Amino acid sequence: MSQENTSSIIVVGKLGAPYGIKGWLKVHSFTDDPQGIFEFSPWLIGQQGKWQTLEVVDWRRHNKGFIAKFAQVNDRDEAMAYTHAEISMDAAQLPELPQGEFYWRDLIGMSVITDKGYNLGIVDDLMETGSNDVLVVKANNKDAFGQAERLIPFLTDTVIKEIKHDAKEITVDWDPGF
């Protein structure tokens, strides 16, 4: 994989320290369902901007995390070379979501417009809170309300009125003064 084509790569975890002498490594999963990381293979392993694929041949739970064995790694010394490397996958490997559901990464970069036509800015990030997710919207430079950033609850039907994928636009019922 060339370095130029990394826009569709998403980090899903990180490799930890070697485990044992046969090339196993500890795995730290960043996926919602931690063991879901093993549904994707091969993994793209990133170190210093270089990518290579590793095929998971076996894995199991270990303490509060996981350990994994790769086809190409057969002893502790080889495993050491992968310690702290990022585990990634190509976005194309993600399962299709049902109509009306989105991956967070699909929303980042979308414009957020009120139902009255005011442009609030661009989705910069999303946060999980106890009750609901929140859009972090970076306001436009010349925001009429002097806002630099807005936190908008991701509540479908009440706040989020429509998500137009093709137009990269989210329509919200929200007071621009907030």
Q: Report if residue 4 sits inside a domain.
A: no
Q: Which stretches does DSSP call E strand in 85-174?
A: 86-90, 111-114, 119-128, 133-138, 149-153, 160-164, 169-172
Q: What pLDDT score does 4 carry?
A: 39
- Domain span at residue 151 reads 104-172
- CATH number of residue 114's parent domain: 2.30.30.240
Apex 173 CA angle, 167 and 175, nearest 5: 115
Q: Report if residue 29 sits inside a domain.
A: yes
In this prediction the pTM is: 0.58
User: How many of the other CB atoms lie within 10 Å of CB of 116?
Assistant: 10
Per-residue pLDDT tens, the chain, 178 aa: give them: 333 345 577 888 999 999 999 999 999 998 778 888 898 878 989 887 788 899 999 999 998 899 999 998 999 999 999 999 999 887 777 777 777 677 777 888 999 999 999 999 999 988 888 788 899 999 998 898 889 999 999 998 899 999 988 899 999 999 998 8
Nearest to 136 by CA among 157, 154, 160: 154
Is 48 in contact with 37 (CB distance < 8 Å)? no
User: Rounded to whole angstroms, how far apart are CA atoms 139 and 80?
Assistant: 44
Note whether 123 and 163 are same-domain residues: yes
Among the three residues 93, 117, 146, which one is the final residue of a domain in this structure? 93
Q: Report if residue 49 sits inside a domain.
A: yes
Q: Report if residue 2 sits inside a domain.
A: no
Q: What pLDDT score does 7 carry?
A: 58
Q: What pLDDT score does 31 carry?
A: 79
Q: What pLDDT score does 49 carry?
A: 75
Note whether 40 and 69 are same-domain residues: yes
Query: At 53, is the secondary structure helix, strand, or coil?
Result: strand
Q: What pLDDT score does 64 carry?
A: 86
Among the three residues 34, 65, 93, which one is the final residue of a domain in this structure? 93
